[in-house]
Chain A
Amino acid sequence: MEIRVQSQPFDAGAELNQFTSAQSSVGAIVSFSGIVRNNSAGDLRAMEIEHYPAMTEKAITAIAQQAQDRWDLADVLVIHRFGLLHLDDPIMMVATAARHRVAAFAAAEFLMDYLKSRAPFWKKEHGGHAEWVAAQQSDEDALQRW
């Protein structure tokens, strides 16, 4: 399991290749990348991501541990950025490795659902005016399926 919380950009393709080459005898690798998209007004200049440094890595590790307890996973990678990001920048990625694809897909979705509303990050969109991104009830509801 590898958890990285960083301000620096990362290359999702290179990270996935490295994650893949570190595995042995897995049948499935699933990855997800989150990218900075434009706001609804279409005038996004930057996306600021604040986090709670003392809690972030601990919270993500606990979420990844839950995924490992629940599915037969060979490995988990989570990278999440904080700081000032721009349009099309990578925000975060998740990769899961397992013997079978069902576990790899389910664990990746579980990780994403929990990272969304249980990892201490807060996004602020800087466009015409600056606005904190509001959490969606649908994100909270998504946790119920697990």
Chain B
Amino acid sequence: MIDVLYFAWVRERIGLPSERVDTQAQTVGELVAELAARDDRYAAAFADVTALRAAVDQELVDDFSAPITGAREVAFFPPMTGG
């Protein structure tokens, strides 16, 4: 089981801030594929992965081939707009 968090418009499209997911996915990309196949809301949120960023255990990953084995938390969000 892994905690999956959503922020900004990803959260709005999916309709949830977070959930626990039972997954065999080994990478961020595999988790995206599993989630996107769930229903229209997830498909809409994950439609354009180039518009998405991810963090594994609160560390930003460079790309979606990043492993998630042993991770407790994966977060999905649009590019950050701080400052």
Which A residues are within 8 Å of any B CB, using their own CB?
34, 50, 52, 54-55, 58-59, 80, 91-92, 112, 115-124, 132-135, 140
Contacts and interface: CB of A to CB of B under 8 A. Distances in A.
Interface of B: 5, 7-9, 55, 58, 60, 73, 75, 77-83
B24 to A, nearest CB: 25
Given A59-B60, A119-B80, 17 more contacts: A52-B55, A54-B58, A55-B58, A80-B82, A92-B82, A92-B83, A116-B83, A117-B82, A119-B82, A120-B77, A121-B81, A121-B82, A122-B77, A123-B81, A124-B8, A134-B78, A135-B80
Nearest to B11: A50
8 contacts: A117-B81, A117-B82, A118-B60, A121-B83, A132-B8, A135-B80, A135-B81, A140-B79
A101 B34 CA distance: 52
A121 B80 contact: yes
A50 to B, nearest CB: 6
